[in-house]
């Protein structure tokens, strides 16, 4: 299996198109807006963007309900605009990753419009229909009484997201509407999705973030079925598009890379370690059932970083050089990384997250510390996710430089806080969070130990203990990151064999490191961090 060569240095910036930059004054962000900000994204030392779905859609789940996989939604622009985005990104040695939603369509996709007419049409089996509306369905989620077809269709997420039919592993004879994964009818769906990927790759796209990647096949041996499916796609990509990346929304990098993905996120779903770093406590909104308790990155000093670090190390060991953990600051589904912290309190969190091995994914606005905006209600199926989807704050003006539309026409309202951060102001301040993030990401590019591949060791870390300190090496290059997010001063003694010289890249005032004869001692004031390199 091959790896796209650019992944070694990839740093990804996630762009939520509807609230990034509006250039035509309709209150909704658009592709020309993304193109206009490519230099800003590059200035962060990011070299790839992941663009959330920008395709024709009735927008009942903000575009994750696709009605035409091969056409840009008019509110964002045209296919030519997207092609221009690919070209402009490539001119800057950047890459563009599209969001692929293979598990379901909207109710308005032409495949579904045909399928709901009845069994006997070319799309009759593109979705999972029972044979009659009253038939036994097992434990899956179905909608009955929709359209003309006498049957119920299975859904993948919301009621309006009918599941595409990739088959069952194995098909259960008790339910005659289940097809095996190699049935010619379900293989048609597999080919249709391959053609969607081919369409965009041929136009210049650099790969896909795959929505709900583990959800496509059902049944007792679903895991084996899903591995086979993604290996099939990956082998094809390796042959035809070896520089294209496949990133999964799976939340288990070990399983996802075993299934053929290059990258998977350690995120809020699945295991809880990531949530416990930043998003525990209800006011930090997380969609994770593990969100109780305290965050490690919190002045209260009652959190635990070890669940994350243990899971992270387990994944690193399992992956070796076969794939990467995606290190997300946040995304469009979970609470903002800022989560009510001060901008200074964000620095330890950023230093911790952005210097780990793997591939960083910065969710647009996190680099300036945009915060959650609560109480916005539902927008296109967002519900509590509206809080993290508000317009990007580009400057200190009333419209925040997002759009020239009247504020009531904005896709979602701006953060009303008089203290809301913005990119233009932070750009001018050498000590801003924005410039701190730029510095950390630059370090990834110039210091091999800080790169995507350097190794990783916890130098000091215990259950419920502050600080946490990790070290990384690559050849002669060495890096150490220490963070004390808690509100008390702390000390740590730990072994540090072989260290002769080092320099402080960046540290909060008052941090003290004494290193001699293989042992080190650190003193760290409240909410502090330090980064050392050799």
We find the least distance from the C-beta atom of residue 214 to ligand NOJ, in angstroms, to be: 11
For tokens 């899956």, name the residue.
140
**Distance, CA of 119 to CA of 453 (rounded, Å):** 51
Closer CB to ligand NOJ, 96 or 443, in the complex: 96
Query: CA angle, corner 14, sides to 12 and 19, nearest 5?
Result: 155
We find the least distance from the C-beta atom of residue 287 to ligand NOJ, in angstroms, to be: 9
Query: CA angle, corner 208, sides to 449 and 260, nearest 5?
Result: 70
Closer CB to ligand NOJ, 101 or 350, in the complex: 101
We find the least distance from the C-beta atom of residue 69 to ligand NOJ, in angstroms, to be: 13
We find the least distance from the C-beta atom of residue 404 to ligand NOJ, in angstroms, to be: 28
**Distance, CA of 136 to CA of 240 (rounded, Å):** 43
Provide CB contacts within 8 A for 304, sequence distance 6+: 276, 294, 296, 463, 464
Note the Cα 46 to chain centre separation in Å.
14
Q: Which residue is nearest to ligand NOJ (CB)?
A: 64
Helices (H) and strands (E) in the chain, counts: 12, 20
Q: What is the DSSP letter of 487?
A: S
We find the least distance from the C-beta atom of residue 61 to ligand NOJ, in angstroms, to be: 5
Distance (Å) of CA 168 to CA 180, 186, 435: 5, 10, 50
Report whether the peptide linkage leading into residue 450 is cis, meaning its omega lies within 30 degrees of zero. Answer: no
We find the least distance from the C-beta atom of residue 211 to ligand NOJ, in angstroms, to be: 5
Which tokens in the block code for residue 211? 């929505």
We find the least distance from the C-beta atom of residue 230 to ligand NOJ, in angstroms, to be: 17
Within 10 angstroms of residue 199's Cβ, the number of other Cβ atoms is 14
Closer CB to ligand NOJ, 154 or 440, in the complex: 154
We find the least distance from the C-beta atom of residue 192 to ligand NOJ, in angstroms, to be: 18
**Distance, CA of 140 to CA of 151 (rounded, Å):** 14
Closer CB to ligand NOJ, 341 or 379, in the complex: 379
For tokens 């395709």, name the residue.
55
Closer CB to ligand NOJ, 163 or 483, in the complex: 163
Distance (Å) of CA 85 to CA 67, 101, 303, 407, 494: 22, 20, 42, 27, 49
Provide CB contacts within 8 A for 151, sequence distance 6+: 119, 129, 130, 131, 132, 133, 135, 177
Q: For 400, list phi and psi in degrees, rounded to 5.
A: 60, 20
Closer CB to ligand NOJ, 156 or 508, in the complex: 156
We find the least distance from the C-beta atom of residue 384 to ligand NOJ, in angstroms, to be: 12
Distance (Å) of CA 67 to CA 39, 64, 225: 32, 9, 26
| DSSP track, 258-304 | HTT-SEEEE-SSSSSHHHHHHT-SGGG--S-TT--S--SSSTT----
Footprint on this chain of ligand NOJ (rule: CB under 6 A) = 61, 64, 101, 157, 211-212, 249, 332-333
Closer CB to ligand NOJ, 210 or 400, in the complex: 210
Closer CB to ligand NOJ, 101 or 468, in the complex: 101
Closer CB to ligand NOJ, 157 or 200, in the complex: 157
- Closest by CA position to 390, among listed 338, 347, 442, 354: 338
We find the least distance from the C-beta atom of residue 349 to ligand NOJ, in angstroms, to be: 22
We find the least distance from the C-beta atom of residue 269 to ligand NOJ, in angstroms, to be: 9
We find the least distance from the C-beta atom of residue 212 to ligand NOJ, in angstroms, to be: 5
- Closest by CA position to 85, among listed 3, 200, 8: 200
Report whether the peptide linkage leading into residue 224 is cis, meaning its omega lies within 30 degrees of zero. Answer: no
Check if the beta carbon of residue 279 is closer than 8 Å to that of residue 334.
yes
Note the Cα 454 to chain centre separation in Å.
22
We find the least distance from the C-beta atom of residue 343 to ligand NOJ, in angstroms, to be: 27
- Paired with 225 in beta bridges are none
Q: What angle do the packed helices 184-203 and 79-91 form, to 10 degrees? A: 60
């Amino acid at each position: 299996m091959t790896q796209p060569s650019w992944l070694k240095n990839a740093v990804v910036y996630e762009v939520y198109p509807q609230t990034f930059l509006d250039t035509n004054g309709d209150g909704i962000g658009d592709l020309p807006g993304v193109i206009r900000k490519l230099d800003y994204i590059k200035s962060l030392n990011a070299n790839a963007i992941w663009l959330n779905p920008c395709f024709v859609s009735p927008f009942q789940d903000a575009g994750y309900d696709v009605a035409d996989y091969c056409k840009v939604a008019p509110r964002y622009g045209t296919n030519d605009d997207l092609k221009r985005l690919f070209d402009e990104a490539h001119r800057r040695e950047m890459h563009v990753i599209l969001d692929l939603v293979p598990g379901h369509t909207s109710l308005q996709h032409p495949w579904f419009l045909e399928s709901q007419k009845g069994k006997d049409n070319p799309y009759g089996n593109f979705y999972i229909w029972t044979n009659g509306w009253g038939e036994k369905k097992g434990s899956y989620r179905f909608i009955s009484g929709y359209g003309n077809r006498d049957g119920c269709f299975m859904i993948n997420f919301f009621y309006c997201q009918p599941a595409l039919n990739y088959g069952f592993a194995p098909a259960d004879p008790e339910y005659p509407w289940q097809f095996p994964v190699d049935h010619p009818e379900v293989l048609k769906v597999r080919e249709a999705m391959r053609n969607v990927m081919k369409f965009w790759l041929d136009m210049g796209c650099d790969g896909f973030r795959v929505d709900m990647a583990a959800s496509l096949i059902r049944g007792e041996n679903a895991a084996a079925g899903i591995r086979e499916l993604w290996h099939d796609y990956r082998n094809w990509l390796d042959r035809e598009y070896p520089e294209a990346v496949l990133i999964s929304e799976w939340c288990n990098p070990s399983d996802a890379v075993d299934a053929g993905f290059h990258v998977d996120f350690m995120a809020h779903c699945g295991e809880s370690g990531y949530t416990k770093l930043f998003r525990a406590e209800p006011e930090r909104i997380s969609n994770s059932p593990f969100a109780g308790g305290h965050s490690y990155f919190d002045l209260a000093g009652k959190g635990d970083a070890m669940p994350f670090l243990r899971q992270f190390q387990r994944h690193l060991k399992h992956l070796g050089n076969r794939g990467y953990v995606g290190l997300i600051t946040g995304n469009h589904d979970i609470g903002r990384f800022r989560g009510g912290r001060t901008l200074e309190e964000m620095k330890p969190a950023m230093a911790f997250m952005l210097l780990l091995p793997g591939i960083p994914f910065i969710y647009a606005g996190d680099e300036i510390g945009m915060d959650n905006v609560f109480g916005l209600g539902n927008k296109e199926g967002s519900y509590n996710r509206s809080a993290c989807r508000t317009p990007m704050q580009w400057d200190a003006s009333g419209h925040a430089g997002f759009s020239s539309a009247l504020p009531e026409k904005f896709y979602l309202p701006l953060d009303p806080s008089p203290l809301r951060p913005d990119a233009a102001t932070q750009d001018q301040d050498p000590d801003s969070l924005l410039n701190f993030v730029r510095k950390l990401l630059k370090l990834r590019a110039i210091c091999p130990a800080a790169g995507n591949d350097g190794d990783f060791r916890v130098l000091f870390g215990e259950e419920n203990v502050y600080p946490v300190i990790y070290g990384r090496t690559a050849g002669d290059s060495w890096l150490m990151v220490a963070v004390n997010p808690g509100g008390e001063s702390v000390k740590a003694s730990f072994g540090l064999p072989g260290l002769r010289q080092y320099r402080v890249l960046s540290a909060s005032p008052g941090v003290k490191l004494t290193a001699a004869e293989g042992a080190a001692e650190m003193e760290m004031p409240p909410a502090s961090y330090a980064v050392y390199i050799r």
